[in-house]
Chain A
Amino acid sequence: MTDVLAVTDHRRGELRDVSYEIITAGRELADETGGDLHLAVISGTVDEFAEKLDREGVDAIHTVDYGEEFNHDVYTQTITQLYDELAPQYVLAPNSVNGLDYAPAVANELDLPIVTDTIGLETDGETLIATREMYGGKVETTNELEGEAVVTIRSAEWPQAEGTGDAAIEAFDAEIDEDAIGSTVTGFEEVGGGDVDISEADVLVSVGRGIEEEDNIPIIEELAEALDATVSSSRPIVDNGWLPKNRQVGQSGKVVTPDVYIAIGISGAVQHVAGMKGSDTIVAINTDPNAPIMDIADYAIHDDLFDVVPALTEEFQ
């Protein structure tokens, strides 16, 4: 039987969506061989979280009331102890920034193989077949693993679990070795504020690494001006200091849902798409017809931005 232990994610008092998605992923795996799905809820207001997470398909919820916020040592210690107690076949964790701060340590400590950022999972109880991308989404691969494993799942790939369950909710008595805790969270800060809020814009002209040089940014600004739109960008443009942080769309930037999003020289990496896939109409201008952005585009021009953008600006001047 394939029992699954899935670890949930929360921050600053809120459960993150992936916590409900991981229930679906875990249930699917457990169902393939009739196993149980256990959830781990670690730190924060665990009883309140457990109640919310008691959705259809969850067999047991183990709460560990220790500390307010995420600490990777507390997570690592707790999960390895739960693993020893429950002996699950798979430990599932979100492929979030925090998930990647403990899942590899859990795998190494338990001497288990790890496969990260999965977008599809299947098992016959012995062999796990994990689907994941490589080369920034240009290809997909299947990967096989025998026996127990630690697996992280990409967010928004599985639907959120619904309904109400009747899971057994139990406090798990984890023994936390405080001497082994080597990091302390001292605070949080919101970044990317300032004069412009791109999430308020109706039309975004968004620029990516295809622009090549800082000196070329003005052609994007001229287009935005002609369209009375707002300029946003992918991460490398902000990393390079060509535009301020408050213009960044994506996982670590802003989530935007404009009426029209024009992606110019942006490949459509998963962390970018996470921030703009809810846009009403998506237009992609990209020389690469196979760029992942094409999968979510409504309209596309497979051409050089240095030809198309000035022509479009002219249309509106």
Chain B
Amino acid sequence: MKILVTVKEVATVEDEFEIEGTEIASQYLGADLNEWDDYAVEEAVQLQEAGLADEVVTVTIGPEECEQTIRQALAKGADRAVRVWDDALEGVDLLDVNAKTEILSAVVEAEDPDLVLTGVQAGDDSFGATGVSLAEEIGAQWGAVVNSLEHDLEDGVASVRRELEGGVEELTEIDLPAVLTIQTGINEPRYASLRGIRQAQRKELDVQALADIGIDESAIEAQLELTEMYEPESESDATIWEGSADETASELGDLLREKGVTQ
């Protein structure tokens, strides 16, 4: 069995930041592997260790600068990586769900995996829609917000739990091939070992342009246009205590006593 895992480098933002146009100014941005994807990679690697998967391939859409982040997944055990990038993607503010679906489905077609794992959402733009959209596009089955996956995958069926609201889990059987969007907490993502990190440098990272995967530039023209970004007007009417930790703790202590806590 072959597993494809979609991974994304997400932007992280410092506490204090400024907005320039429709972006956060780059000096306030950091980068990290998307938290949800880390769990998806771990799940795939565990399936491989259990002898169920023969190959784990990651795919990302991103510029060369994200390679270091993407190699984290290789260091944790993925076998090889595909990175799609193109000059045509350079100026795109926001790659919408439809464009991502288009690109990823072309890679799925070329790789022909039995199982695709994605994160539930990306921590930066939080659309939470790409995995299910991709499944529909490639004619696969799917399950969103999966927080448990049985590792026997008997008879071409995945037994999963979908995490619903309010502490309720739905037990579902999903036919393969399928796309599962993976929720945090499904496993304990490992730290890459030094050996893993060294090996990752030598693993194959294949770069594809849109034309290489048979995609016309017009297909990625975003239909959703980001027109404004601003800091939300603070609705806060909080009383803010200032001073040393002893002073603020004592203010809070007074409040708690007033509220009748610990008498």
Contacts and interface: CB of A to CB of B under 8 A. Distances in A.
Interface string A102-113: 111101110001
Contacts of A284: 238
Given A145-B225, A260-B256, A283-B252, A188 B133 contact: no
30 contacts: A16-B165, A72-B132, A97-B144, A101-B162, A102-B132, A104-B136, A105-B142, A107-B133, A135-B124, A140-B230, A141-B229, A146-B223, A182-B175, A188-B168, A189-B161, A189-B171, A251-B166, A253-B167, A259-B259, A283-B255, A290-B231, A294-B234, A295-B235, A295-B236, A296-B235, A298-B237, A300-B236, A301-B241, A304-B245, A312-B252
A241 interface: yes
B143 to A, nearest CB: 7
A127 to B, nearest CB: 10
Nearest to A106: B136
Given A117-B127, A134-B229, A290 B16 contact: yes
A90 to B, nearest CB: 14
Contacts of A144: 224-225, 227
A297 B169 CA distance: 30
Interface residues of B, dominant DSSP: mixed
B132 A109 contact: no
A294 B228 contact: no
B239 A97 contact: no
A96 interface: yes
Contacts of A235: 184-185
Interface in A151-206: 182-192, 202-203
Contacts of A281: 255, 259
Interface stretch (A39-47, A57-65, A222-230): A222-230
Contacts of A139: 19, 24, 229-232
A115 B128 CA distance: 10
Q: Main SS of the interface on chain A?
A: mixed
B240 interface: yes
A311 B101 CA distance: 51
B130 interface: yes
Contacts of B235: 295-296
B194 interface: no
Nearest to A282: B238
B174 interface: yes
Interface residues of B, number: 84
Given A108-B101, A135-B13, 6 more contacts: A72-B142, A134-B229, A144-B224, A183-B175, A188-B164, A251-B166
B165 A251 contact: yes
B22 to A, nearest CB: 7
A190 B185 contact: no
Contacts of B27: none
Interface in A260-317: 260, 281, 283-284, 287-291, 294-304, 307-308, 311-312, 314-316
A184 B239 contact: no
Say which size band chain A's interface belongs to. Answer: 35 or more
A138 interface: yes
B170 interface: yes
Contacts of B144: 72, 97, 100-101
A104 B97 contact: yes
Contact of B141 (A115, A182, A283, A288): A182
Interface string A210-229: 00000000000000001111
A307 B15 contact: no
B128 A117 contact: yes
Contacts of B131: 104
Nearest to A184: B173
Nearest to B263: A228
Interface string B151-188: 00000000001111111111111110010000011001
Contacts of A295: 232, 234-236
A96 B166 CA distance: 11
Given A105-B136, A139-B231, A252 B165 contact: yes
A52 interface: no
B167 A96 contact: no
B184 A116 contact: no
A19 to B, nearest CB: 13
